Amino acid sequence: MKSPYWNKEDFRVIIGSSRIDYDKEKETYNRKEHKYSLLSAVDFLEHLLLPIGYRPFITRDASTKEERRHEHMTIDDAGKIVFYVTTMRKRETIRAISLCIASEKEREIFTSYTGFKEKSSNHAASVDGWSRH
């Protein structure tokens, strides 16, 4: 079986050389529109590099006409499923573009792949004690 060629836009994490950044000009917009700092996306990606305190995480490639993008979902510190978008830049740099609470459909997808189900909003889920349904 022949492996597909790796494109420079493919999402990848290379231990020892991957860097993570975000557009500081988009930080204010993301905080206003989605109520999250892009620094949180950096934190989620750092957990890929050093997976301490395991959190379920899924990713897929997605594209726009302008650039290749990658969609990810994981759990924030409050136990909520979050959706974020990245792209690859030069020198193995992962650029965080957007971060927000996952939509109902995205949460269903995340649950179907990981088994994680958010607790009701009245009872915040514990990240360390995430439960499978």
- What is d(CA 42, CA 86) in angstroms, rounded to the nearest whole number? 10
Q: Give dist(CA 87, CA 67) in Å, integer.
A: 8
pLDDT tens digits, one per residue of 82-116: 999 999 888 888 899 999 999 999 999 999 888 88
Residue 53: pLDDT band by 50, 70, 90 thresholds? low
In contact, 94 and 18? CB cutoff 8 Å: yes
pLDDT greater than 60 at residue 75: yes
pLDDT of residue 106: 93
pLDDT in tens, 3-40: 556 677 777 776 556 788 888 889 999 999 999 999 98
Give me 49's structure tokens.
């590099």
Which domains can be identified in the chain, with CATH numbers? 19-114 (3.10.450.530)
